Amino acid sequence: MDQHGEESDRLSASRRRLTDDECRAAVRDALDALPNEMLERLGDVAVIVDDRHPAGLMGIYDPTGGMRRIVIYREANPTVEEIRKTVLHEVGHFFGLDERRLRELGYG
């Protein structure tokens, strides 16, 4: 295979959407990497993977209603690194960080 074919294959692989299982595993890995103190404070916050948000959001922390939850949208997070960043972004909201502070920390 020539250089252009190899480069094209690498680009195609990097643009491939993660499967539902891959996305869920990446979310679990991101949460597992959090310090135990943070995990304990998250308590009963549900972390859910859904296909897409109508407005194209990557994730959302929803503190209202009877169930506090973080939702990660698979189609808006094409890579494991994007999922990690989105999980940390939404966990940051849980801990009270605003968009400005999350951007300063590199999670905006």
Q: What is the CATH number of the domain that holds 84?
A: 3.30.2010.20
Residue 73 maps to a domain: yes
Reported confidence tier of residue 64, pLDDT bands at 50, 70, 90: confident
31, part of any domain: yes
6 domain-assigned: no
Number of domains the chain is built from = 1
Range of the domain at 59: 18-104
Q: Where are the beta strands (DSSP E) in 2-82?
A: 46-50, 59-62, 69-73
**How does pLDDT run across 74-84, given as a tens digit for each residue?**
999 999 999 99
Instruction: Please report, for residues 9, 24, 53, 66, 79, the alpha-carbon distance to residue 83 in angstroms, rounded to integers and kept in the order given.
Output: 23, 9, 15, 26, 6
pTM of this structure? 0.83
Between helix 80-94 and helix 20-32 the angle, nearest 10°, is: 50
In a domain, 12, yes or no: no
